[in-house]
């Protein structure tokens, strides 16, 4: 189990090496958790909905695959590094039949003894997880999540335009697109490998500022959506679908509120170690709950029968692609967990 946890600690860290035991123990527990995750989420969904369960189970599997995608790829790259190969060798798996066999042979091969150009021997060197790799992991995760979210925003705007939706929803999605671009840029700032400590710290501060600006925009949007949901509850009869929608808005609201607190504490009260640590812990906890809820929510929106009457086949196809891509929103709270972890561990060690 410790090897699985180690892979999560190096969530999107593509540097260094990984021994065979680390890779195959991760593969074993990953398979076990994949089954458990899918079964439990599907059972919970079955008790709370009467949707199409096969589709719900597929979405549960997809959400776990998205959640574990980056650490799995990162670990595979580090395993290739251990045998002296470039991480790009993963692409040989695209070759039918032969590629998969070749990659499997590399994964079961014994690693090079002693140091190689990718780092020290993992069998003899102690594990180190410094703040810089954690920040880089958060940056990679933000870049992936934001890139998919940008595509999702464009599809959403196209979908709203096709259905001739109200102007306010279009404005909300334009603001969401702007904030997502900010998150993307912040991700690139977190990837900084500058030799100068001062320059790295400056880029880290710029990343936190961008995160604060982006999440503040999202917080305002969520606040408006929450007020709209409250007005809807007062005047309309609501069913399960509406309740789930309202809970989803509240979840986003709380998540963005805590991220704002976290970023503000880093920017304006860095000397208050306990405040930063508490804010980081709050982000980690609420992000974990947000991941679980997000997986359940996307099972619901994909498994329910399509109620709206789509004017064109294109509108329906865009709607389906949007629902599938929205599963990648799970990566955004993961990025904040990794980012908060860098500050939380640091302050905890300082307090000791």
Summarize pLDDT for 76-109 with one digit per residue, the tens: 999 999 888 888 888 888 888 888 899 889 899 8
Report the sign of the C-alpha dihedral through residues 307, 327, 52, 316, in that order.
Answer: positive
Token readout for 131 is 């703040």
Q: What pLDDT does residue 33 have? A: 93
Q: What pLDDT does residue 68 have? A: 92
Parse the chain into domains and list their residue ranges.
2-108, 132-351
**CA separation for the pair 10, 138 (Å, rounded):** 10
In sequence order, which ranges of the chain are alpha helices (DSSP H)? 2-9, 20-48, 53-82, 98-108, 131-162, 167-190, 197-235, 240-268, 273-303, 313-325, 331-351
Q: How far apart are the first and last CA of the chain?
A: 27
Beta carbons of 71 and 141 less than 8 angstroms apart:
no
Q: What pLDDT does residue 28 have? A: 93
**CA separation for the pair 142, 232 (Å, rounded):** 33
Task: Please choose, from the candidates 102, 125, 107, 129, the residue with its C-alpha nearest in 3D space to the C-alpha of residue 115.
Answer: 125
**CA separation for the pair 118, 135 (Å, rounded):** 20
Which residues, 6+ apart, have CB-to-CB distance to 56 below 8 Å? 41, 42, 45, 46, 49, 299, 300, 302, 303
pTM of the model: 0.83
Q: What pLDDT does residue 161 have? A: 58
Token readout for 289 is 């709950």
Q: What pLDDT does residue 190 have? A: 87
Q: What pLDDT does residue 311 have? A: 54
Which residues, 6+ apart, have CB-to-CB distance to 31 below 8 Å? none
Q: What pLDDT does residue 48 have? A: 74
Q: What pLDDT does residue 240 have? A: 62
Q: Which residue has the tokens 């709270």?
A: 333
Beta carbons of 159 and 318 less than 8 angstroms apart:
yes
Q: Which residue has the tokens 């998150």?
A: 183
Residues with pLDDT less than 70, the chain: 50-54, 56, 127-131, 159-169, 193-197, 229-242, 302-320, 345-352
**CA separation for the pair 165, 153 (Å, rounded):** 15
Q: What pLDDT does residue 347 have? A: 43
């Amino acid at each position: 189990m410790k090897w699985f946890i180690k892979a999560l600690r190096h969530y999107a860290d593509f540097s260094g090496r990984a021994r065979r035991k680390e890779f195959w123990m991760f593969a074993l527990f990953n398979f076990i958790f994949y089954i458990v995750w899918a079964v439990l989420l599907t059972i919970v969904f079955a008790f709370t909905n009467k949707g199409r369960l096969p589709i719900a189970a597929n979405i549960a599997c997809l959400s776990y695959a998205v959640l574990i995608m980056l650490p799995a790829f990162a670990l595979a790259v580090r395993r290739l590094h251990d045998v002296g190969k470039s991480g790009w060798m993963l692409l040989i798996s695209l070759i039918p039949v032969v590629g998969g066999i070749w990659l499997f042979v590399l994964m079961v091969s014994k690693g090079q003894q002693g140091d190689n150009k990718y780092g020290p021997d993992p069998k003899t060197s102690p594990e180190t997880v410094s703040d810089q790799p954690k920040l880089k992991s958060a940056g990679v995760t933000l870049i992936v999540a934001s890139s998919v979210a940008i595509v999702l925003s464009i599809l959403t705007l196209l979908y709203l335009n096709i259905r001739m939706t109200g102007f306010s929803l279009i404005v909300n999605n334009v603001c969401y697109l702007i904030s997502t671009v900010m998150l993307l840029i912040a991700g690139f700032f977190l990837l900084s490998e500058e030799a100068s400590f001062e320059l790295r710290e400056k880029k880290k501060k710029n990343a936190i500022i961008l995160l604060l600006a982006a999440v503040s925009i999202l917080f305002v949007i969520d606040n408006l959506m929450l007020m709209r949901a409250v007005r809807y509850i007062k005047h309309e009869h609501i069913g399960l679908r509406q309740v789930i929608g309202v809970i989803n808005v509240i979840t986003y609201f709380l998540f963005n509120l805590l991220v704002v607190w976290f970023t503000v504490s880093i920017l304006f009260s860095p000397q208050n170690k306990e405040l930063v640590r508490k804010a980081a812990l709050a982000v980690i906890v609420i992000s974990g709950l947000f991941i679980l809820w997000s997986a359940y929510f996307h099972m619901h929106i994909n498994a329910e029968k399509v109620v709206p009457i789509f004017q064109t086949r294109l509108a329906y196809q865009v709607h389906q692609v949007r629902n599938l891509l929205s599963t990648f929103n799970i990566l955004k709270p993961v990025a904040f967990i990794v980012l908060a972890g860098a500050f939380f561990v640091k302050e905890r060690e300082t307090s000791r």
